[in-house]
Every structure is written in structure tokens, then in C-alpha cells.
Amino acid sequence: MIRMPRTIVLVIFLAVTACAPVQLFPTDATNGVDKEFDFTAWRTIPNAKTGQKVQLGGRVVQANGRNGGLIIIATQLPIVQQPAYGPKDMGRRSGEFAIFYAGSLDPKWLKPGNRLIVIGTTQEAKAVVVDDVQRSLPSLAARCLHVWNTGGKEIAEFPYNAGGGYEPLEEDTYCVPQ
């Protein structure tokens, strides 16, 4: 008779944890993030919004090493909750931005098409080279990056469980030490 209440409690616990928000970053990295940040306004006048702590989703366009760090050029994508958490290409082009990350990553995370979420502080526009053309892009100094090795696919296209012949989706979080 005791077995039935334990089963019910276990099912309720699993249901509640499945609905909990995804926690990709340490709490100290997410504290103070501007939840109402307007990417379009920042892209239009990047120097007017420096020093804001933001969270942006995107798709890697290219990445280059520079002075012991990385410059990642990303196309901004909205961060969605369903059917899978992460940046999703909605078919609308919203613009590119530069991410300055003071560290290094395995090249597999920097392949064009991979999805990412970055938490960082906005900086003045920077001159960067994108596809052999120098451009001025809004930029931010990254505090943390979460990267999905999607190979250009959408995150939702990967199955939720590994095994059974399915290709698992690799993902990882990297933070600059404070």
C-alpha cells in the first residue's frame, strides 16, 4: 500500500523538474542581465548602449583567434523555450554582432552554423573582418558562452535521447574566470 503514494510522489517530482527552466549559466553570470534589451536598437546605434549586461542567442558565422582570445561573429537569433531550449532560426535576418571571448575553445564549437547563447557586456562598435570584408559591428565582451555543436541544424532536430542510432547533440558552457 505504501508503494502507490511513493510512485505518485515520484511522478509529480519528475513532472515538476521537467517543467523547470533550463539553467545554462552560473547564477552570478545571469545576475543583472537586461531582460528588456532591444537588439535592433543596439544594432542601429551600438555606441549608445555600452556597458549593459545582456543575453543574446545566435548562430556562428565565423571565429578567429586574436591576442589569446576569440572574436566570434554571430547572426542574432531569438532564444526559444519550445520545442527545445536555445536559439532558433525564424527565417528573419536580424543582424550580426561580434563577441570577444577572453579564452579559447575547441574548434568544433566554432564551426559556422553552430548555435550559441552568450552573456556579456555591450561595448562600442568594433571594426572586424567578415568574409574578407571589413565591417563595423556592435560588440560585446563575453562573460559566458553556451554552445551547441549543431552543424547548422536546428536544436529541435536532434532527438532528446542518445542511443538507438540517434546522433546526440553536444553542448557545453564556458565562462571567463572573474
Percent above pLDDT 70 for the chain: 82
Is position 132 within any domain?
A: yes
In this predicted model, what pLDDT tens digit does every residue of 64-95 receive, in sequence order? 988 889 999 999 999 988 777 888 887 777 79
Q: What is the CATH number of the domain that holds 55?
A: 2.40.50.140
Which of 58-62, 161-165, 170-174 is predicted least confidently? Answer: 161-165
- 100 pLDDT above the threshold of 90: yes
Is position 144 within any domain?
A: yes
Cell of 109: 564549437
Is position 15 within any domain?
A: no
Is position 60 within any domain?
A: yes
Q: What is the mean pLDDT of the chain?
A: 84
User: What is the pLDDT at residue 42?
Assistant: 94
Is position 84 within any domain?
A: yes
3-state secondary structure of 106: coil
**For 160, phi and psi rounded to 5 degrees?**
-75, -25
Distance CA 129, CA 134 (A): 4
Is position 168 within any domain?
A: yes
CA atoms lying within 13 Å on the CB side of residue 50 = 7
Is position 7 within any domain?
A: no
User: What is the pLDDT at residue 72?
Assistant: 97
Is position 160 within any domain?
A: yes
Distance CA 139, CA 123 (A): 5
- 125 pLDDT above the threshold of 90: yes
How many helices (H) and strands (E) are present in the chain, helices listed first? 3, 8
77 compared with 21, residue with greater pLDDT? 77
Domain region containing 90:
25-175
Structural domains of the chain, count: 1
User: What is the pLDDT at residue 18?
Assistant: 45
User: What is the pLDDT at residue 166?
Assistant: 60
β-pair type (171-175, 133-148): antiparallel
pTM as predicted = 0.81
In this predicted model, what pLDDT tens digit does every residue of 127-164 receive, in sequence order? 998 888 999 999 999 999 999 999 888 888 876 655 55
